Amino acid sequence: MKDLTATLAFRDKFAYSTGSLGKEVAHGLISCYVFLYCIQVLELDIPFLGVLYLSHNLLGIITAPLLGILLDNLNCRFGKYKILTFLGLILNCATLMGFYYLPQLTPSNVELTITIVYLLWSLSFFMIDLPSWSILSAFNTSNTTRDAMATVPCITNHLGTQLLVICALPFMQHASTIFETISYPLGALVAFYIMLVSQSIFLFLLKNNAFHGAPRQPSPSLATPAKPTPAPSESAPAQATASSAQASSAQATAEPLKQEEEEEESSTELGANNYDYATPTFGAVSTEQSLVAALNSIAEGQLSEPPVYHAPAPAHVSLKERLYTMAQVLFKNDQLMVIFLSTVLLYTAFGLILGAYISFFIEHQLLLNPTLYLILLGAGLLQLFAMASFEALVRHTSRTFIFRLALYMSMAGFALMFWAEYSQGFTLPVLAASIFLTNLGVGLCKVALTSMTIDTVDYGEFKLSVRTDGLIFSLRAMAHNLGKTISFFFYGGALTIGYILGANDDAGMPGEISGAVLIVLILLVITLVLYLNFYKLNGAFYRNVLNNLQYLRQNQNVARPTLADLNANKFMLRYALDESTMLIKLNANSVEDILKAMVQKLSEVQAIASEHDFMSDLRARLALGPCGIAEGIALPHAKSSAVRRATVVVATLDHPIDLGALDNRDCDLIFLLASPDDGYTHMNLLGRLSLLLNESGFADKLRASGSPTELFERMVQCERHIMR
């Protein structure tokens, strides 16, 4: 069976990286050439360029959510990401040809022509850019893969915009000489071919099926299914006791079923073809055979008629309903709001930092100093290094630690420049240290924000049963442009550009550095407080979200399950596991104490809607017979309408308790299974658990676990070992 957390194929990585790098390099080229052409050839005023830049950001703020809604509602055989990219590429190439032929035109109003062509190009870039970011959430559910891939667009954005501009700064003063040998149309033509080649590679080489998803509607598994065809009652007299022959028969069929399970391509789910039947009590069997026989008797049972599951009939979704769904995503995804506000705050801070540094360079007349550009180039490379190192750093520490470290580094680096300025201790080495430290922090912050945005897509689907990666990443783009716009207004971006070109030598400083430092520090502190107090998609909680999300995805498309449907449904126990529901050395004196503690864990992770209702169903099930199995293992379980999602609670006891096991041994390893009453999930859970418990030494490894994390990891590792 293919592991859903497997790493991506090289072809997918190459296609995605090439497409991302191509669009960013083309963006940087067009930005530079429009700037140079307007200044050196058309001799337009500096404020016009400032308004043009501001219009680009405002267009991004306005169109981002509209493009996000469009992306989430696209549905075609080529996949929603590719179709929007293709449409954007057509418009982008057309506008690049407009730039190419622009010098040949003699319009009466050159400013209007430049503005129209530039804004159409900006719109086309946003159409390509949004799918490039949104597709990150579709790679797979491996945090390692996602963190690694989140670095790609951050790195390409840095290469295509900042480093390109840094390399262009030294010859901006000599642009007129450059234009004697290099014509403006050549730049547009180069950008045209870069976009055409890179996006073609993206469109034709990216083959991963996950990228072809249509907008995800509410999962049928979250809806209320029609009642299944009644199966034999758990209290039926015929099932009140089970003979030794029945237990032996179950044991005889255990090995063929296990062998079938381990065949990767044709494996069947143990118990998947048993829908809703009685769980027998057990007669006397030998101690050696008791555990195997008992578990497999639970998982085998007698085949009953398949229940008829009626999924909600597909209905036309009106525009009003779609807008309502989008509003839910915006206002009910609390983690999205945390990331949105953090992105606005951080990109505002990043813009202020850049403006303050430029002002510092102007004040100290460093713009023509070659050493400055070596420092800037080194800082740019360090930021690349920080981005590329993010995944490895998170793997050895934690995302929370890295994000906090990044904020502290940004604060320290920027404050160092302020100290050097006002203590008269300014030197180029101090300036270099300040810029290097700040760039390291900014690089880590950008990747962390991207990775956390990916997580909010899954959280939104988990919480609201609808996947809106386009809208969520459009809010990221909106927040990004909003932060840049705020910093632009604060620091007078157009005036700063004028200083760079020497167009306004007599004007004063575009902003006080001390004010910028104070505001930046306040923004970074607010972001840190916001993150530490409200962001929760870390650790066990987020792993539980992903596990349950995979389970819901597996079952959402089964409208009328047949044997083939359920055999093809590779149910994995880890989807029902949660590190927060692992109990180590529980101190209990009775079965009631055990169940109360375990049911409370179900409530804490919101796996059940009501502790009272589930406990009633659980007690009703236990009234049919004790929960003890054999070899110190107990298996209380119940199907209940109060269960929101299948969940397993595992507990090791401080001292064993008599729970009525077949071999008369006291139990100290308890598995509580909570399943929705849908006719098949319960048996899937029991079947999968029976495979694990039949593994030699598995139960003892669980008993020896010293922490909930260790207990959780050992269960997951054992299942992966079985399914290899």
What SS3 string covers 343-403? HHHHHHHHHHHHHHHHHHHHHCCCCCCHHHHHHHHHHHHHHHHHHHHHHHHHHHCCHHHHH
Rounded mean pLDDT, 580-587: 90
On the 0-12 / 13-18 / 19+ scale of CB atoms within 10 A, 38 is: buried
How far is 493 from 495, CA to CA, in rounded Å?
5
| Helices H / strands E in the chain, number of each | 25, 6
Cβ contacts of residue 253 below 8 Å, gap of 6+? 296, 300
pLDDT value of position 624 = 87
pLDDT value of position 47 = 77
- Cα 283 to chain centroid distance, Å, stands at 50
SS3 320: helix
How far is 323 from 674, CA to CA, in rounded Å?
35
- Residue-wise pLDDT for 4-50, tens only, equals 334 577 888 899 999 999 999 888 888 877 877 777 777 777 778 88
- Residue-wise pLDDT for 676-704, tens only, equals 877 667 777 777 787 777 777 888 889 99
Task: Using pLDDT thresholds of 50, 70 and 90, give the confidence band for residue 185.
Answer: confident
- Cα 89 to chain centroid distance, Å, stands at 26
Task: Using pLDDT thresholds of 50, 70 and 90, give the confidence band for residue 287.
Answer: very low
- Residue-wise pLDDT for 92-147, tens only, equals 999 998 888 877 766 667 778 888 999 999 999 999 999 999 999 887 656 777 78
pLDDT value of position 571 = 54
- Which pair of structure tokens corresponds to residue 629? 């199995």
Q: Show contacts of 2-7: CB within 8 Å, 24+ apart.
A: 2/264, 3/720, 4/140, 4/141, 4/550, 5/140, 5/141, 5/142, 5/145, 6/140, 6/142, 7/142, 7/144, 7/145
Percent of the chain with pLDDT over 70: 70
pLDDT score of 171 more than 70: no
The answer to whether residues 99 and 82 touch, using CB atoms and an 8 Å cutoff, is no
* Beta bridge partner(s), residue 653: 586
How far is 126 from 128, CA to CA, in rounded Å?
5
Task: Using pLDDT thresholds of 50, 70 and 90, give the confidence band for residue 720.
Answer: confident
Rounded mean pLDDT, 585-608: 89
For residue 273, report the phi and psi dihedrals to the nearest 5 degrees.
-95, 15
Fill in the DSSP letter of residue 650. E
pLDDT score of 442 more than 90: yes
Q: How many CB atoms lie within 10 A of CB 480?
A: 23
Fill in the DSSP letter of residue 707. S
Task: Using pLDDT thresholds of 50, 70 and 90, give the confidence band for residue 544.
Answer: low
pLDDT value of position 506 = 43
How far is 64 from 58, CA to CA, in rounded Å?
10
Task: Using pLDDT thresholds of 50, 70 and 90, give the confidence band for residue 386.
Answer: very high
Average pLDDT score over the chain: 74
Rounded mean pLDDT, 138-164: 80
**Kind of pairing, strands 633-634 and 667-676?**
parallel
| Weakest-pLDDT range from 76-90, 298-312, 429-443 | 298-312
Rounded mean pLDDT, 419-440: 82
Q: 531: closest CA among 338, 345, 336?
A: 338
| Torsion angle defined by CA atoms of residues 244, 246, 247 and 252, in that order, rounded to the nearest 10 degrees | 120
pLDDT score of 179 more than 70: no
pLDDT score of 218 more than 80: no
The answer to whether residues 642 and 675 touch, using CB atoms and an 8 Å cutoff, is no
Q: Taken in order 674, 676, 677, 679, is the CA torsion positive or negative?
A: negative
pLDDT score of 372 more than 90: no
pTM exceeding 0.75: no
Rounded mean pLDDT, 135-163: 81
- Which pair of structure tokens corresponds to residue 164? 């390109």
**Kind of pairing, strands 628-630 and 633-634?**
antiparallel
How far is 45 from 312, CA to CA, in rounded Å?
61
On the 0-12 / 13-18 / 19+ scale of CB atoms within 10 A, 125 is: buried
How far is 369 from 366, CA to CA, in rounded Å?
5
For residue 522, report the phi and psi dihedrals to the nearest 5 degrees.
-65, -45
| Weakest-pLDDT range from 61-75, 387-401, 457-471 | 457-471
